[in-house]
Amino acid sequence: MEAALKAMSDPTRREILQLVQHEELAAGAIASNFTVSRPAISQHLAVLKSAGLIDERRSGVKRLYRTKVEGMAELKAFLEMFWDVRLSRLKAAVEADTKKKETCDDNTKS
Amino acid sequence: MEAALKAMSDPTRREILQLVQHEELAAGAIASNFTVSRPAISQHLAVLKSAGLIDERRSGVKRLYRTKVEGMAELKAFLEMFWDVRLSRLKAAVEADTKKKETCDDNTKS
DNA sequence: TTCTTACGTAAGTGTCAACTTACGGAATGG
DNA sequence: CCATTCCGTAAGTTGACACTTACGTAAGAA
């Protein structure tokens, strides 16, 4: 997850992920969508690949890339953990509010 | 989302988020869980706060922090976009496979 | 073979960020 | 008042990283 998060924290790489989520694209075709140099895109592709976020396939002299969504599974699970906590907080708040009507106690100090 | 992603890309900050997801904790109490210096944690808290991932509340001489899950909403939506695409890929593959069987249905037995 | 296409890789540079120690400043207790 | 606690901020160092240009390499065409 560490690698996936760092990889996605770059806006250029996020754009690449969106570009190749529907169709396979060659490295050059990807680079043509950006103003930065082609080697820079090549390095971004290497980062995405080593983070498990894209797949590479060779076809003749070209290299085709495509988003590999499995690499985001861990991160997705991490995020959903917080959503579950939010729900349990709501539940706890409701229960605490119910109990407060029985035992009114003030322990704050100022 | 940019800020939230960069904030979460640091392992120390992810640990902090998990520490304060259930209960409010003071800055010092948070720092006591790590080996890095207290000012370092203070800086991490500032990053998390400016990314909208935690809330700060003052109580006397202490500052209490707590995870603010709303800051992750955009990132969650970004991730789910890729999951939707994966489903549509599966659907497209199934439909293509079905069509193939219809076009050549007179002399082949699957 | 030789040229061309389509890439990755090497090397260097500038910027950013995570960490350290030292200091400042607000709230409380004496 | 002064001292202590709790915490953010300042300043400096180190390492990571995004980018550049220049070069290397594999596949196919002439």
Residues of chain B contacting A2 with CB distance shorter than 8 Å: 9, 11
CA distance B3 to B49: 10
Mean pLDDT computed over B38-44 = 98
The architecture that CATH gives domain A2-71 is: Orthogonal Bundle (1.10)
Please check the confidence at residue A47 and state whether its pLDDT lies above 80.
yes
Q: How far is the CA of B43 from the C1' of D9 (A)?
A: 10
Cβ neighbours for B55, distance < 8 A, ≥ 6 positions apart = B49, B65, B66, B67, B68
Please check the confidence at residue B109 and state whether its pLDDT lies above 70.
no
Residues 53-82 (A) with a CB less than 8 A from some CB of B: 67, 69, 72, 75-76, 78-82
Q: Is the CB of A47 under 7 A from strand D?
A: yes
pLDDT digits (tens, 9 = 90+) for A80-105: 999 876 666 666 667 666 655 544 33
- The helix/strand/coil state of B30 is helix
Mean pLDDT computed over A17-42 = 97
The answer, for A19 touching chain B at a CB cutoff of 8 Å, is no
Q: In terms of Cα–Cα distance, which of B82, B76, B81 is closest to B1?
A: B76
CA distance B110 to B89: 23
Mean pLDDT computed over A53-73 = 97
Mean pLDDT computed over A68-88 = 88
pLDDT score for A84: 79
CB A21 within 8 A of CB B82: yes
For the sheet with B25-26, list strands across it.
Answer: B25-26, B62-67, B54-59
The answer, for B17 touching chain A at a CB cutoff of 8 Å, is yes
Residue with tokens 């290497």: A46
pLDDT score for A100: 53
Q: In terms of Cα–Cα distance, which of A48, A52, A50, A58 is closest to A17?
A: A48
> Beta partners for A67?
A54
Question: Strand pairing of A62-67 and B54-59?
Answer: unpaired
Burial of B48-66, coded b for 16+ CB within 10 Å and e otherwise, reads bbebbbbbeeeeeeebbbb
Residues of chain A contacting B75 with CB distance shorter than 8 Å: 79
Tell me which residues from 63 to 102 on chain B have a beta carbon below 7 angstroms from nucleic acid strand C. Answer: none
Mean pLDDT computed over B44-70 = 97
Query: How sure is the predictor about B94, in pLDDT bands with cuts at 50, 70 and 90?
Result: confident
Q: Is the CB of A3 under 7 A from strand C?
A: no
Q: In terms of Cα–Cα distance, which of B47, B99, B92, B85 is closest to A22?
A: B85
pLDDT score for B99: 56
